[in-house]
Amino acid sequence: MQRRADRSATVEAPVNRRYHSAMSPPLCTARGGAVPTPLPAPVGSDPQRTLLPMRASSYLLLVCLGFAALLGLRELNARAIELSCWAGGYSQDAWLAYCNSKRYGVYEVEAIWHRIEPDVAPAIARAQVLTLSDSHLQTALSLGGASDWFRAHAYRLYLLGLPTEESGFGEDLLDNFQPHPAVVIFDASPYFTGAVGPSESNVVSDPQGARAQVLRLKRFQHLHERFCDWLPSACGHNFAYFRSRLDGHLIFPQYSTRFWIGKRGVPTDTRRFPVSGLPDESQALYPTYLAAARRLLGKLDLPRSCMVITSVPAQRDERPLARYLSGELGLTLIDPDLPGLSTYDRTHLTPDSSRRWTQAFLRQLEPVLRSCVGKAAAAAPAPRE
């Protein structure tokens, strides 16, 4: 009995296999073949509770690292898209008005409104001929060679059309810049809604935030120009357009297979959608347009005969609206009727159609310019000696 009791006293305590296998490296056999006794678990500890916080913290760290890596990749991708925008306008005395990137987008609205581009306000003040419109007229005259025509005929022009401009913002522009042109040109498009377009609404709703954003974009232009000079092969793959410092006309890239992003925004003659002349369905709103037009025209100290209204052809026929406003307000109507015109995006005229339409428009505009600019020059006070 005594021998059996001594034998039971020498039996080792059982090992906690779960704790041992989870927390210790595999057991190694010593030289003498004896297996080292594992360290016991801390007194009063629960192995399951010890493991869970460590595993949870590891998972949390991995999730945070993965999220940070994802944010870094998104930032890198956004910057790459921004830098890939076409940069050909910098060499043509122009600034980057639009880049097909969420980070850049439409820069021209805030740049003009806040006078971030220093040449804009003096050019508007010097202009004898001023346009107020959305992108339809702005694009047609830019692609159609209006800038060269006005320069050759010694008239000072500024194209003040903006992407989604409506007459409510047109009124704001007139209040902001106080221009004194001899001739003003409008597009019926419909433009006279009395509202502010989506591209211009941020200027009205959050002017301080819009200014801070546009200053960042101004700094990006310097980076973009230097980057594209250094690595030109990385640029020109994303759609962008520039705005001339001289007269505000838009400068577009040539259509090319180099464009990977925003290709459909590039004006081209290879993609044509014939002008269909769908009937105007907004006739019920004509009285509203007329009231908005009266408000805007009241800010201009010009004879009504020196205010020109037209309708740039597109999918929908807005010529009835132009004729209505001309008749009610006594505006000069110029409405070239040309066959075979096309758009490249169902909205804006192709380069070829823009040239045809613009040249026809300018031929009819020339007598108005001779009369109105001449009268304005004669009425101007003589310079002091």
Which helix (H) or strand (E) segment is 307 a member of? strand 307-310
CA distance 271 to 353: 12
- Write down the pLDDT at residue 9: 44
- Write down the pLDDT at residue 55: 64
CA distance 292 to 255: 38
* Range list of H helices, the chain: 2-9, 17-23, 47-83, 108-113, 120-126, 135-143, 146-152, 167-177, 201-205, 207-230, 286-297, 319-329, 351-379
Show the low-confidence residues of the chain (pLDDT under 70).
1-79, 377-385
Query: Domain 87-376: which topology?
Result: Rossmann fold (3.40.50)
238: helix, strand or coil: strand
Q: Where are the domains of the chain?
A: 87-376
Q: Residues 218-255: pLDDT tens digits?
A: 999 999 999 999 999 999 899 999 999 999 999 999 98
- Write down the pLDDT at residue 108: 95
pTM: 0.79
Q: Residues 282-322: pLDDT tens digits?
A: 889 999 999 999 999 999 999 999 999 999 999 888 999 99
- Write down the pLDDT at residue 356: 98
Q: Residues 327-349: pLDDT tens digits?
A: 999 999 999 999 999 999 999 99
- Write down the pLDDT at residue 78: 52
